[in-house]
Structure 1
Amino acid sequence: MLTTIKEVSGHVGKEIKLGGWLYNKRSSGKIQFLQLRDGTGFIQGILVKNQVSPEVWERANNLTQESSLYVWGVVREDSRAPSGYELDVTNLEIIQIAEEYPIAKKEHGVDFLMDHRHLWIRSPRQRAILAIRAEIIRAIQGYLDTNGFTLVDPPILTPSSCEGTTNLFHTKYFDEDAFLTQSGQLYMEAAAMALGKVYSFGPTFRAEKSKTRRHLIEFWMIEPEMAFVDHEGNLKIQEELVAHVVQQVLANCEQELKTLGRDLSALEKVKAPFPRITYDEAVELLHREGFTDFTWGDDFGAPHETKIAESFDRPVFITHYPTEVKAFYMKPDPNRPEVVLCADLIAPEGYGEIIGGSQRIDDPELLKQRYEEHHLPLEAYQWYLDLRKYGTVPHSGFGLGLERTVAWICGLDHVRETIPFPRMLNRLYP
Structure 2
Amino acid sequence: MKVTIAEVKDYVGKEVTIGVWLTNKRASGKIAFLQLRDGSGFMQAVVTKSDVDESVFQQAKSLSQETAFYATGIIQEDARSPFGYEMLLTNLQVIKEAVDFPITPKQHGTEFLMDHRHLWLRSRKQHAVMKIRNEIIRATYEFFNENGFVKIDPPILTSSAPEGTTELFHTKYFDEHAYLSQSGQLYLEAAAMAFGKVFSFGPTFRAEKSKTRRHLIEFWMIEPEMAFYEFEDSLVVQEQYVAHIVQSVVKNCRLELDRLGRDVAKLEKITAPFPRITYDEAIEFLHEKGFDDIQWGDDFGAPHETAIAENNEKPIFITHYPTAIKPFYMQTAKDRPEVALCADLIAPEGYGEIIGGSERIHDYKLMKQRMEEHNLPLEAYQWYLDLSKYGSVPHSGFGLGLERTVAWISGVEHVRETIPFPRLLNRLYP
Q: CA deviation at 1:311?
A: 2.0
Question: Residue 213 of structure 2 corresponds to which residue in structure 1?
Answer: 213
Q: Distance in 2 between matches of 1:17 and 1:416?
A: 35
Deviations 1:76-101 (A, max 9, x none): 11111121111111111110111110
Name the amino acid aligned to 2:330: M
Q: CA deviation at 1:58?
A: 2.6
Question: Residue 243 of structure 1 corresponds to which residue in structure 2?
Answer: 243
Question: Residue 133 of structure 1 corresponds to which residue in structure 2?
Answer: 133
The 3-state SS of whatever aligns with 2:203 is: strand
Question: Residue 161 of structure 1 corresponds to which residue in structure 2?
Answer: 161
Question: Residue 412 of structure 2 corresponds to which residue in structure 1?
Answer: 412
The 3-state SS of whatever aligns with 1:131 is: helix
Question: Residue 323 of structure 1 corresponds to which residue in structure 2?
Answer: 323
The 3-state SS of whatever aligns with 1:271 is: coil
The 3-state SS of whatever aligns with 1:244 is: helix
Deviations 1:357-384 (A, max 9, x none): 0000000000000011000000110000
Task: Report if aligned partners of 2:328, 2:370 keep a CA contact under 8 Å in 1.
Answer: yes
- Residues 332-411 of structure 1: pairs in structure 2 closer than 5 A: 332-411=332-411
- Residues 6-45 of structure 1: pairs in structure 2 closer than 5 A: 6-45=6-45
Name the amino acid aligned to 1:126: Q
The 3-state SS of whatever aligns with 2:337 is: strand
Q: Distance in 1 between matches of 2:292 and 2:427?
A: 37
Task: Report if aligned partners of 2:276, 2:317 keep a CA contact under 8 Å in 1.
Answer: yes
Name the amino acid aligned to 1:60: A
Q: CA deviation at 1:400?
A: 0.3
Name the amino acid aligned to 1:404: R
Give structure 1 regions of 4+ aligned residues with deviation exceeding 2 angstroms: none
Q: Distance in 2 between matches of 1:419 and 1:57?
A: 39
Q: CA deviation at 1:62?
A: 2.8
Q: Distance in 2 between matches of 1:304 and 1:40?
A: 40
Identical-pair percentage? 67
Q: Distance in 2 between matches of 1:194 and 1:124?
A: 45
- Residues 212-231 of structure 1: pairs in structure 2 closer than 5 A: 212-231=212-231
Q: Distance in 2 between matches of 1:403 and 1:54?
A: 49
Question: Residue 186 of structure 1 corresponds to which residue in structure 2?
Answer: 186
Question: Residue 252 of structure 1 corresponds to which residue in structure 2?
Answer: 252
Q: Distance in 1 between matches of 2:232 and 2:161?
A: 27
Q: Distance in 2 between matches of 1:41 and 1:344?
A: 36
Q: Distance in 2 between matches of 1:185 and 1:32?
A: 56
Aligned length: 430
Q: Distance in 2 between matches of 1:251 and 1:2?
A: 28
Question: Residue 75 of structure 1 corresponds to which residue in structure 2?
Answer: 75
Q: Distance in 2 between matches of 1:232 and 1:91?
A: 62
Deviations 1:91-140 (A, max 9, x none): 11110111110011111110000000000000000000000000000011
Deviations 1:141-169 (A, max 9, x none): 11001100000000000001111141010
Q: Distance in 2 between matches of 1:122 and 1:269?
A: 31
- Residues 283-294 of structure 1: pairs in structure 2 closer than 5 A: 283-294=283-294
Task: Report if aligned partners of 2:27, 2:61 keep a CA contact under 8 Å in 1.
Answer: no
Deviations 1:380-400 (A, max 9, x none): 100000001111100000000
Q: Distance in 2 between matches of 1:372 and 1:29?
A: 79
Question: Residue 148 of structure 2 corresponds to which residue in structure 1?
Answer: 148
Q: CA deviation at 1:335?
A: 1.4
Q: CA deviation at 1:14?
A: 1.3
The 3-state SS of whatever aligns with 2:129 is: helix
Q: CA deviation at 1:336?
A: 1.0
Q: Distance in 1 between matches of 2:188 and 2:105?
A: 47
The 3-state SS of whatever aligns with 2:86 is: strand
Task: Report if aligned partners of 2:51, 2:90 keep a CA contact under 8 Å in 1.
Answer: yes
Name the amino acid aligned to 1:259: R
Name the amino acid aligned to 1:169: F
Q: Which runs of 5+ in 2 are unaligned?
A: none
Q: Distance in 2 between matches of 1:142 and 1:123?
A: 28
Task: Report if aligned partners of 2:162, 2:186 keep a CA contact under 8 Å in 1.
Answer: yes
Name the amino acid aligned to 2:180: L
Q: Distance in 2 between matches of 1:193 and 1:90?
A: 63
The 3-state SS of whatever aligns with 1:339 is: coil
Question: Residue 424 of structure 1 corresponds to which residue in structure 2?
Answer: 424
The 3-state SS of whatever aligns with 1:100 is: coil
Q: CA deviation at 1:205?
A: 0.2
**Aligned-CA RMSD value:** 0.7
Q: Distance in 1 between matches of 2:306 and 2:420?
A: 27
Question: Residue 55 of structure 2 corresponds to which residue in structure 1?
Answer: 55
Q: Distance in 2 between matches of 1:290 and 1:315?
A: 22
Residue 114, structure 1, aligned to residue 114, structure 2: yes
Q: Distance in 1 between matches of 2:190 and 2:407?
A: 31
Q: Distance in 2 between matches of 1:200 and 1:245?
A: 16
> TM-score, with normalisation over the residues of structure 1?
0.99
Name the amino acid aligned to 1:96: K
Deviations 1:224-281 (A, max 9, x none): 0000000010000000000000000000000000010001111111000000110011
Q: Which runs of 5+ in 1 are unaligned?
A: none
The 3-state SS of whatever aligns with 2:380 is: helix
Question: Residue 203 of structure 1 corresponds to which residue in structure 2?
Answer: 203
Q: CA deviation at 1:293?
A: 2.3
Residue 309, structure 1, aligned to residue 280, structure 2: no
The 3-state SS of whatever aligns with 1:340 is: coil
Name the amino acid aligned to 2:370: R
Question: Residue 277 of structure 1 corresponds to which residue in structure 2?
Answer: 277
The 3-state SS of whatever aligns with 1:379 is: coil
Question: Residue 123 of structure 2 corresponds to which residue in structure 1?
Answer: 123
The 3-state SS of whatever aligns with 2:131 is: helix
The 3-state SS of whatever aligns with 1:95 is: strand
Deviations 1:397-417 (A, max 9, x none): 000000000000011110000
Q: Distance in 2 between matches of 1:406 and 1:326?
A: 25
Q: Distance in 2 between matches of 1:190 and 1:327?
A: 17
Name the amino acid aligned to 1:88: L
